[in-house]
């Protein structure tokens, strides 16, 4: 497999996985601070912190997937 294809596949996967982790983190954060009631997670400081960290990781994956290094085509000789 060509190195550029592997990098592209990784970038294509990073964006949707990052989006899922980001959204999950937002939900956990909102439950942790008590905005989304109806769960055992509601009002728990642990879930507020875990959600905030998950949202940051998800955002970093999205940004990294979008702005990651582009594959450099080989020089013609």
Is the pTM higher than 0.75? The answer reads yes
**Least-confidence region, from 12-16, 20-24, 28-32, 58-62:** 12-16
Q: How far apart are CA 52 and CA 6, in angstroms?
A: 30
**Is a pLDDT exceeding 70 seen at residue 46?**
yes
Query: Which tokens hold the place of 73?
Result: 């085509």
Can you tell me the mean pLDDT for 20-38? 95
């Amino acid at each position: 497999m060509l190195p550029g294809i592997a990098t592209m596949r990784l970038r294509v996967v990073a964006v949707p996985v990052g989006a899922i982790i980001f959204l999950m983190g937002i939900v956990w954060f909102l439950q942790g601070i008590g905005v989304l009631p109806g769960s055992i997670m509601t009002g728990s400081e642990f879930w507020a912190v875990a959600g905030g960290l998950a949202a940051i990781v998800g955002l970093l994956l999205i940004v990294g997937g979008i702005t990651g290094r582009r594959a450099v085509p080989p020089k013609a000789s």
